[in-house]
């Protein structure tokens, strides 16, 4: 029906182009919000499984900003790796990877030692307080 009238077919084409552009923008902007929040929620749901965190709660704004930062960091590192590989500097890249793996392993070991020592010292302090109070109650 519209094909017989070239003016209306042009208008219909423009309207469809605007509609498709608007839908693409809507889907893209929704994905920019939904993807970081969803991934951030899964990250926050995985964090309470660690022994260090004590019942951390998920907040959508925290989830959005943390996961946006994680996505940005991963993309920046991927760009850096691709750049190093294109320049044929894989030895520099592997050296940096090994260096950061060593830093992560050392930091993890120090963190686990610190957590264990802090818990042991906390238990020692509680024990001293309880035993000193028990001695005071006997003396009175």
**Side-chain half-sphere exposure of 129, counting CA atoms within 13 A:** 6
pLDDT at 136: 67
Alpha-carbon gap, residue 55 to 47, rounded angstroms: 9
Residue partners of 36: CB distance under 8 A and separation at least 6 = 63, 64, 67, 68, 71
Alpha-carbon gap, residue 66 to 13, rounded angstroms: 42
Q: Are 42 and 71 in contact (CB under 8 A)?
A: no
pLDDT at 99: 93
Alpha-carbon gap, residue 89 to 98, rounded angstroms: 15
**Side-chain half-sphere exposure of 108, counting CA atoms within 13 A:** 7
- Quick: pLDDT tens for 24-75: 999 988 888 888 888 888 877 777 666 655 556 667 777 888 888 888 888 9
- Quick: pLDDT tens for 76-130: 989 988 888 888 888 888 888 899 899 999 998 888 888 788 888 888 888 888 8
């Amino acid at each position: 029906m519209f094909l017989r009238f070239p003016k209306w077919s042009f208008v219909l084409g423009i309207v469809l182009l605007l509609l498709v552009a608007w839908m693409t923008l809507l889907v893209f902007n929704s994905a920019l919000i939904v993807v970081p929040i969803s991934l951030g929620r899964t990250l926050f749901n995985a964090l309470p499984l660690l022994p260090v965190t004590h019942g951390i709660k998920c907040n959508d704004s925290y989830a959005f900003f943390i996961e946006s930062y994680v996505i940005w960091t991963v993309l920046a590192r991927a760009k850096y790796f691709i750049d190093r590989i294109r320049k044929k500097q894989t030895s520099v890249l592997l050296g940096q990877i090994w260096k950061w793996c060593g830093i992560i392993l050392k930091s993890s070991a120090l963190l686990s030692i610190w957590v264990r020592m802090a818990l042991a010292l906390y238990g020692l302090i509680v024990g001293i307080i309880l035993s000193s109070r028990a001695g005071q109650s006997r003396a009175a």
